[in-house]
Structure 1
Amino acid sequence: MTRIFINGFGRIGRTVLRAWASGWAPDLQIVGINDIASPDLCAHLFAYDSVFGPYPGTVEWAESRLMVDHRSIPLHRTSDVSKLDLGHIDVMFECTGKANSRDIAERGLQAGAGRILISGPSEAADLTMVLGANEGLLGDQSIVSNASCTTNALAPMVRLLNDTWGLQTGWMTTIHCYTGSQPTIDAPRGDMLRSRAAGLSMVPTTTSAQNLLNQVLPDLAGRIEAAAVRVPTASVSAIDLTVTLKTKASLADVHDVIRQQSGIIGHTDKPLVSSDLRARSESLIVSLPETRVTAGGLVRIFGWYDNEWGFSCRMLDVAQMMKPGPIATG
């Protein structure tokens, strides 16, 4: 049984716990959580979620414990996880969003974790991994990044298209729900566009997925350009990908290949909207009615992804693949 510790109980940390408690990744055991928020607030935000709704089981808390159904999980409250003595922890989920430097990313190792899995892009990682794209590179790295939610949606599809027909070039736009990095009212955020109220406008902006895709699939570096539009919805995003393939493919060919996928890439034949895809576990759910192939050979793929739930399921999946490393000593 792989022992997991969650550092940072925000959107991803709480969603990871929900997905695991629902039965995802039963070979994992979540044995501790650390967050600077008070235990009662951690329990309340887990029990009552504005996106996923009330937790269907029981949630209680004590001074240093979170009780979820019949599971008792120790709660810690420190801004520096290296000050804790975690005992034997196989993988620490670094979910604070602050592990952008090596010294911060290594704090979990200093606390006793064997390996670190970061819930986002990080230059401090030994490997940036996307399941369905480059998992073959996973070895005994101490610090691994799970990339971004958009990269998890994009990279497996790009790899599939390239492996099947060869990929010449393409453009991807992610239509992404707003996130905590944006203000609820106009307020300075260092970027003129992202300083605008998240719930009132569609905001054209950048995405880290382009650079991360180049890291994850270096043989295709530079072939896909990307941008983003942040939209006033709270969950579920989409990618709109248009590519030129080396070998001509018909619409039926594209549909057949997508229908053969499962687990990481899903599909739907139904005319769905974003809220219909909430809490789907796949990294990408391709909308087959939106797929197009032009007479000139352009292929358009449109797919949905729950940027919180699907990404959290990948965190759990990757943790199952990570071989326990040597336990670090302070």
Structure 2
Amino acid sequence: MTANDDSFINWKNREEIAESMIPLIGKLHRERDVTVLLHSRSLVNKSVVSILKTHRFARQIDGAELSVTETMPFLQALTTLDLGPSQIDIGMLAATYKADDRGLSVTAFTAEAVAGATGANKIDRREPRDVVLYGFGRIGRLVARLLIEKAGSGNGLRLRAIVVRGAGGEDIVKRASLLRRDSIHGQFQGTITVDEETSTILANGNEIKVIYADDPSAVDYTEYGIRNAILIDNTGKWRDREGLSKHLRPGIEKVVLTAPGKGDVPNIVHGVNHDTVKPDEQILSCASCTTNAIVPPLKAMADEYGVLRGHVETVHSFTNDQNLLDNYHKSERRGRSAPLNMVITETGAASAVAKALPDLKARITGSSIRVPVPDVSIAILNLQLAREASREEVLDYLREVSLTSPLRRQIDFITAPDAVSSDFIGSRHASIVDAGALKVEGDNAILYLWYDNEFGYSCQVVRVVQYVSGVEYPTFPATAV
């Protein structure tokens, strides 16, 4: 038998194990509201190859690929426990088990590591929480995909309605088609049917009412059986408290804006300041995609090295706000053709940092250049640190932050020497540190942060909504604080 034969047999064996993991992961998710993770990456609804590729990511931890043969025993141990709603990271279980020298069995170690989610300690399953999308553009449709994907057992967030302005014949058919197919993010994972008579989209069993209204004041959501819902405004038309308060109609309890909030509207970046949201707060903002990209790594750098001042330059993909060809636009430069030009424009991300990180006294400035790509941007974060550091030290620190810290869902880390923007389409992180591009000299550090300004940001929005609705379940084993 040749080495090639050995490699092929090994691959087929791992495929078989990964295939046997799928029903275990699915049953835990559907029946117990348990989301199985592998180093912060969800394994729910993943294919055999996707599970194997996610295991390969573990090379970043100790230089060796994590095998399904190592994680499968922990997954099997989870199925024997009286688990409550939670997120359980089998990659972290495997890593911490290796470092444990007490000689415990996998079953005993697992039971101890996730004790906070079992027996008398487990939390109650939440009642489904209604969600309404106001607007159905780029972010709205991606948030819809995520909500449908995460419906799971039906005890989490439940997308009940979409509010749009009527646009004439076959409106609902065309909107459903845009949800089904996306030129950047690909096909919807599931089935979609449309009932024009009842104005309903049925997506993977989720009945979504399409409500036509020209103004928030025209809708009484209780007429559609919607109660205590969270409304996600992704139109950006209203950004202050007075305007967003128009959404607080019968059936709506909270309003979440997918744009920077103005005035006293809190700007929330999940992972950084989401735990500051007051229980009685009815209106909040998820800030911008760029704010979400820079604030987590900025916080990480400030916590470890201190930051005296900084500047962020975003090289941003073009958006629907720009013109396809030269035409009138109320903003300077944005009237020039987006697919043909680099366009200098403003960004509010730097000023929004103060809302998300009020304890950071450093002055942060910012500017932006829109470029002719349809998705994925990069933020170049230039920082003056409070102490000197080496490039290797900063790299090791950010790598560890991305793997084991409370910010690991926000910050990813890549060492690929030939990575380009399209590689990050579909990334669920707020930003990805490009290790090869990082520059450090004395007290100056320049971080290059990729981010999918559509999908990664939509993931952050859904995380905020999960948190304020009480369906963001604790993660085990606990990460370092």
Give the TM-score of the pair, scaled to structure 1.
0.93
Following superposition, the deviation at residue 101 of structure 1 comes to: 4.0
- Contact (CA 8 Å) 2:301, 2:307: kept in 1 or not? yes
Aligned equivalents of 2:308, 2:240: Cα separation in 1: 35
Cα distance in 2 between the residues matched to 1:214 and 1:25: 36
2:477 is matched with which residue? none
Residue 327 of structure 1: aligned partner: none
- Of 125-134 and 174-183, deviating more is 125-134
- The structure in which a higher percent of residues are helix is 2
CA 1:106–1:217: 2 relative to 1, 3 Å = same
Report the counterpart of residue 137 of structure 2 in structure 1. 10
| SS of 1:136 mapped into structure 2 | helix
Letter in 1 for 2:162: I
Query: Which stretch shifts more, 96-105 or 274-283?
Result: 96-105
Aligned-partner SS, 2:354: helix
Instruction: Give the alignment of 1:243-322 within 5 angstroms.
Output: 243-260=383-400, 261=402, 262-270=408-416, 271-294=418-441, 296-322=442-468
Q: Give structure 2 stretches of 5+ with no counterpart.
A: 1-127, 403-407, 471-481
Equivalence map 1:1-330=2 (5 Å): 1-23=128-150, 27-36=156-165, 37=167, 38-63=171-196, 64-87=199-222, 88-123=227-262, 126-140=265-279, 141-220=281-360, 223-260=363-400, 261=402, 262-270=408-416, 271-294=418-441, 296-323=442-469
Using the aligned pairs only, state the percent identity. Answer: 31
Q: Distance in 2 between matches of 1:227 and 1:297?
A: 22
- What SS does the corresponding residue of 1:39 show, helix, strand or coil? helix
Taking the aligned partners of 2:211 and 2:332, their CA distance within structure 1 comes to 37
Secondary structure of the residue aligned to 1:256 is helix
Unaligned 5+ segments in structure 1 are 325-330
Secondary structure of the equivalent of 2:136?
coil
Matched to 2:272, the amino acid is A
CA shift for structure 1 position 267: 0.8
SS at the partner of 1:286?
strand
Looking at structure 2, the residues matched to 175 and 111 of structure 1 have their Cα atoms a distance apart, in angstroms, of 42
CA distance in 1, matches of 2:365, 2:233: 29
CA distance in 1, matches of 2:149, 2:420: 24
Q: Greater share of strand residues, 1 or 2? A: 1
Deviation, 1:235, is: 0.5
Residue range with higher mean Cα deviation, 156-165 or 209-218: 209-218
Q: Give the CA deviation at 1:221.
A: 5.0
In structure 2, how many angstroms separate the alpha carbons of the residues matched to 1:125 and 1:20? 28
- d(CA) in 2 for partners of 1:60 and 1:34? 18
Closer, same or farther: CA 25–191 of 1 in aligned 2, 3 Å? farther
Q: In 2, Cα distance between the equivalents of 1:164 and 1:2?
A: 38
Indicate the SS of the match to 1:106.
Answer: helix
Corresponding residue SS for 2:366: strand
After the TM superposition, which segments of 4 or more aligned residues of structure 1 sit over 4 Å from their partners?
Answer: none
Higher relative contact order (CA 8 A, sep 6+): 1
Shift of the alpha carbon at 1:257? 1.7
**For the Cα contact (< 8 Å) 2:387–2:443, is it kept in 1?**
no
Q: Distance in 1 between matches of 2:218 and 2:259?
A: 23
Q: Distance in 2 between matches of 1:76 and 1:89?
A: 17
For 1:301, what is the secondary structure of its paired residue?
A: strand
Instruction: Supply the RMSD in Å over aligned alpha carbons.
Output: 1.8
Count of aligned pairs:
323
- Residue 23 of structure 1 and its aligned partner are, at CA, apart by 3.3
How far apart in 1 are the matches of 2:159 and 2:325?
37
Q: Which has more radius of gyration?
A: 2
SS at match of 2:422: helix
Q: CA deviation at 1:254?
A: 1.1
Distance 1:165 1:101 in 2: 35
Alpha-carbon distance, 1:133 to partner: 2.4
The AA in structure 1 aligned to 2:190 is G
SS at match of 2:161: strand
Give deviations 1:6-38, integer Å, cap 9, x for gaps.
Answer: 111111110001122333887211111111142
Q: Select between 170-179 and 218-227 the one with higher mean Cα deviation.
A: 218-227
